[in-house]
Amino acid sequence: MLRKITQGYRLPHEDTDDFQDIDLWPSITIEVAERLISKYQRTLIIPMTLANEDYFLHIKNGLYNVASSLHHFCLTASVETIHQRLAQRGDVPGSWPFQQTIRCTEEHRKPIYAEKINSEDLSAAQIQDYILDRV
């Protein structure tokens, strides 16, 4: 939505192939989370790939300010496994998600990306159970 609305109006540094580069995106992400938590008083799970340390820290710190408790997990897998999963969801080799894989896997090795879960051989249900046990 943000990409579409700002098309033709973005500043040069925002006009990239990554919607996360749009200046409003981090604050909107935090504000939407805050409103959902406030309105519905439920646990909010935000599945998101963040591979820019500045964006990650901005959003994480913002969420700490709006959530009574915050847990952060970083799912990891090999490039080959990620490519297989992308293909299974319909992405084609060479597409934007495929092009981001190496950058993201390298970034997610950094310690700031919290508790890592090696999802290489885990099903979605196993990951869910692991996370529920931790929180």
Average pLDDT over residues 57-80: 93
Q: What is the chain's mean pLDDT, rounded?
A: 94
Q: Is 66 exposed, middle or buried (0-12, 13-18, 19+ CB in 10 A)?
A: middle
- The reported pLDDT for the residue numbered 92 is 97
**Which residues make Cβ contacts (< 8 Å) with residue 79, sequence separation at least 6?**
101, 102, 105
Q: Which two tokens stand for residue 1?
A: 């939505």
**In contact, 116 and 108? CB cutoff 8 Å:** yes
Q: Which two tokens stand for residue 12?
A: 């040069």
Phi, psi at residue 52, to the nearest 5°? Answer: -130, 115
Note the residue count of the chain.
Answer: 135
In 3D, which of 93, 119, 114, 113 has the Cα closest to residue 51?
113
Q: Write the pLDDT tens digit of every residue in 17-48.
A: 999 999 999 999 999 999 999 999 988 889 89
Distance CA 52, CA 47 (A): 15
The model carries a pTM of 0.86
Distance CA 107, CA 56 (A): 11
